[in-house]
Structures are given as C-alpha cells and as structure tokens.
Amino acid sequence: MLSERMLKALNEQLNRELYSAYLYFAMAAYFEDLNLEGFANWMKAQAEEELGHALRFYNYIYDRNGRVELKVIEQPPKEWESPLAAFEAAYKHEQFISKCINELAALAEEEKDYSTRAFLEWFINEQVEEEANVKKIVDKLKFAKDSPQVLFMLDQELGQRQPQLPNLLLQAGG
C-alpha cells in the first residue's frame, strides 16, 4: 500500500509525464509549421514515449491499490526562436524530469517503500538515455549554426525515428 505522500508524489509525476507528451506534441506542431518533418516525427515519437511513461505510473498506482488523480495539463509553449531553442527547451525539460524522478526515489527510500524505489529504477536509467539523446541533437544543431544543408541532413536523420501510434491505430481499425 502506498503512503499518502508517495501516492500524491506518484500522481504528480504521472501528470508531469502527460505534460511532457503535450510539450513534445507542441514542439512537433512547431516543426511541422517549419516543414521540418523529420524533426516533427522525432518529437511525435518522443510524445508517444512520454505517454508510455504516464501509463507506467498509472498502472503502478493501481497495482499498489492507489487512486489516480488526473490534473489539468498546463498549455505548453507553441513557438520557439529556432530548432536549436526548441531542443534546448526539451533538454532543460528532461533535466527537470530527471530531478523529479530522483526526488521520487529519495521519497520512496525515506518512506521505506522499496517496491516503489525498485519501480523507479527503470525511470532513473531511462532519464540518462533521454537526456543524452536530446543533448546529442542540441550539440548537432549548435554545430550546424545557420547552415541549411546541415539542418536538412539532420532533419533527414531525425526522420528515421517514426511514431508508432499511427500504425497501431491503423492495425486496430483494419
């Protein structure tokens, strides 16, 4: 059974994960407007991943006999100064999420809730990967500066990461 403090903190993280998806969908829309489809696809895939994280928290809360509380999701920004600024914002957001996950793990230890601490281990490791992936793109965009050729090549590279949900929906409907 989850303590009230742990349940509240897990619900807050569930809602942060939903906001993360919302933020990445907003970034995808920004990139669509710039006709950078590869960047947009990368962000849509990232948004899907965040929805998966939210679902993990949702299921865990119920597995531990808790109650999910969904809150209002704040509207994310819809414009950035540049592709670099958007990815720098994504990197800053991932660092924030890492901090929140670490605080959750510390709370689980404080509460002697070792099941929750074990559950959070996956997220701790996932955040290392999340930050590294976004940082690599930030570094490439910094290298590109204002080069349209490099931006085009990076758009092609990022387009290799495709969102999966549209294909899953087509399979379910067919």
Per-residue pLDDT of 115-166, as tens digits, reads: 999 999 999 999 999 999 999 999 999 998 878 999 999 999 999 987 776 6
Q: CATH homologous superfamily of domain 4-163?
A: Ferritin, core subunit, four-helix bundle (1.20.1260.10)
**What's the Cα-to-Cα distance from 118 to each of 6, 110, 114, 134, 169, rounded to whole Å?**
14, 14, 6, 26, 32
**What's the Cα-to-Cα distance from 159 to each of 34, 40, 79, 100, 145, rounded to whole Å?**
14, 8, 21, 30, 20
Read off the pTM: 0.92
Q: State which amino acid sits at residue 29.
A: A
Per-residue pLDDT of 46-55, as tens digits, reads: 999 999 999 9
